[in-house]
Structure 1
Amino acid sequence: MNTLPPIIQPFLLRDNEKAFLDKHGYVSLGKILDEAQLKTVRDRIQALLETEGKNAGAELLDSPHIRHPKEEGADRLADLVNKGEVFDIFYTHPRVLAGVAHVLGQQLKLSSLNYRAAIPSRGHQKLHADWHKTVAPDKYQVCNTIWLLDDFTKDNGATRLVPGTHRSGILPQEELADPWATHPDEIIIEAPAGTVVIFNSHTWHGGTNNHTDTPRRSIHSYFCRREQPQQVNQQRYIRPETYQRLSDDARRILAVNQP
């Protein structure tokens, strides 16, 4: 049975955006968050970092898919679904959902909603894909969206991608002598704060070093096919007050029942 929530409207992604995403493995949707929204999100993030302290991101410790949830080179927060209505847009925005559905098909769900900030002098990651094996183009399993809370530049730890590698049939660990090194074909995402970039998570990608004196902040809404386990078990963590606040569409995207 087709359980596509009405909020997922594939026509909201333009033909040229679909073609670019298919070919390169990523596409920018431009600036979606305005300055007022950015300030509200940043303020809430800062409050959470101060409140959670050393326990920030602890929900990821329950995930069987993450080997090192407490990344030394970055500040993390997890389970943002339950941490304020301000975060609802990150997994319900129709244009973003249209892009994710183009990669995964209509039967998708949110896997996790996390914050990551590359801290000064840190943040570099090896090139990796977010799936353990290669898949056929019509069988993609995971798709990520990066919401830029700061301008992304070559100096401040912006994400790097190797375009087209989602179609290569090769995992980076099989091909690269040093996945930490700069790849000759990699591009750096450079865009203003408020921008959203969708990328097929089978595309080789990773963070870069932040050479500035301030954190480079972003939120990742990460999606998977409906039959896959979630990175953060949304049903386990859903709070009654969150569930009551959400629309039926949002509940279906989270794949949660009443707690």
Structure 2
Amino acid sequence: MTEAEKRQLDEQGYIIVPEFMDDHLLRELRVQVEALFEQEGENAGHEFRQEPFARRLANLVDKGEIFEQVVADSRLLVYLSHVLNGSFKLSSLNARSTNPYAPEAQPLHVDMGVLPDEIGPRVFNSVWLLDDFTEENGATRLIPGSHLWGRLPQDVLKDPTAPHPQEILVLAPAGSVAIYNAHVWHGGTANQTGRHRRALHAFYVRRDLPQQQWQKKLLSAETQARVSPMTRYLLALDDPMNDQLCAEGSGRSGFLK
């Protein structure tokens, strides 16, 4: 990380890294994601969450080896370690594809609805752009610096779906990755075009929080046997405290709603 990147993450809460994915990885991720949408059909995303104006996929670490490259990318882990002070694990890897002409924007929100505590930040997200993000196609919006306000948008905004005077759009070409402290207020915007707007969301939490998707419970025995020691650590597969946190938080389904 450069000093400028550290400063922007600390003060503004986000950075956008262009050309993070090479052409091969971008192409393969697009192919795999579209194949999964086709394969899962109307059930896509049902394990965790579905939306009326977007396609979703969940539990992606278990749905192709290529997704292991995403969650364990060494460059991403540098940014992640900076935000979460060296204590982190994967919470979930999902895909979200805003439908053509989707009329509704997501409300501004903070991931998992949590605020920083006396230790510091607790959540981190990265949006992997599989398509260009433009003003018209549902790009993510962020409120720079809002991770420092110590407030949740739904507690102070009359309408979290309305435009915010301080918002910026993540405008970047496919292959970029938007990295942010997930206490920053953010949400997707409406897609006014005739094409899907696709992205992966690699979401991490501090190790004292439950995973949004309990990886040990959801991943197949084959996947768990295949992953590297570093990836096992990121997935918290051998972490008794994580098992306890997830058992209390998500119960039998393995998904924290």
The alignment's TM-score, normalised by the length of structure 2, stands at: 0.89
Give 1:136 shift.
Answer: 4.4
Q: Which residue pairs with 1:113 in the alignment?
A: 93
Looking at structure 2, the residues matched to 58 and 233 of structure 1 have their Cα atoms a distance apart, in angstroms, of: 16
Show structure 1 runs of 5+ residues with no match: 1-12, 61-68
**1:208-258 deviation digits (Å, cap 9, x = unpaired):** 001110100000000001121111110001212212221100010000149
Looking at structure 2, the residues matched to 52 and 86 of structure 1 have their Cα atoms a distance apart, in angstroms, of: 18
Distance 1:198 1:75, change over 3 A: same
8 Å contact from structure 2 (residues 115, 122) kept in 1:
no
Task: Supply the RMSD in Å over aligned alpha carbons.
Answer: 1.5
Q: Does 1:38 align with 2:49?
A: no
Looking at structure 1, the residues matched to 72 and 36 of structure 2 have their Cα atoms a distance apart, in angstroms, of: 22
Looking at structure 1, the residues matched to 28 and 220 of structure 2 have their Cα atoms a distance apart, in angstroms, of: 22
Look up the equivalent residue of 1:19 and give its one-letter code: R
Give 1:137 shift.
Answer: 7.4
**1:81-124 deviation digits (Å, cap 9, x = unpaired):** 01111111211111111111111121210000000011112251
Looking at structure 1, the residues matched to 118 and 107 of structure 2 have their Cα atoms a distance apart, in angstroms, of: 24
SS at match of 2:110: coil
Q: Which residue pairs with 1:18 in the alignment?
A: 6
1:240 aligned residue (208, 211, 221): 221
Q: Larger deviation: 173-182 or 112-121? A: 173-182
2:138 aligned residue (157, 162, 170): 157
Q: Which residue pairs with 2:233 in the alignment?
A: 252
Looking at structure 2, the residues matched to 134 and 110 of structure 1 have their Cα atoms a distance apart, in angstroms, of: 18
Give 1:135 shift.
Answer: 2.4
**1:187-227 deviation digits (Å, cap 9, x = unpaired):** 00000101011111110000000111010000000000112
Q: Which residue pairs with 1:58 in the alignment?
A: 46
SS at match of 1:58: coil
8 Å contact from structure 1 (residues 59, 232) kept in 2:
no
Q: Larger deviation: 120-129 or 213-222? A: 120-129
| Alignment length (residue pairs) | 238
Look up the equivalent residue of 2:225 and give its one-letter code: Q
Give 1:29 shift.
Answer: 2.2
Which aligned runs of 4 or more in structure 1 are off by greater than 2 angstroms? 131-138
Q: Larger deviation: 107-116 or 24-33? A: 24-33
Give 1:186 shift.
Answer: 0.2
Question: Percent identity among equivalent residues?
Answer: 45
SS at match of 2:18: strand
Show structure 2 runs of 5+ residues with no match: 240-257
> 1:177-196, aligned counterparts within 5 Å?
177-196=158-177
Q: Which residue pairs with 1:171 in the alignment?
A: 152
Q: Which residue pairs with 1:215 in the alignment?
A: 196
Give 1:138 shift.
Answer: 4.3
Looking at structure 1, the residues matched to 168 and 30 of structure 2 have their Cα atoms a distance apart, in angstroms, of: 26
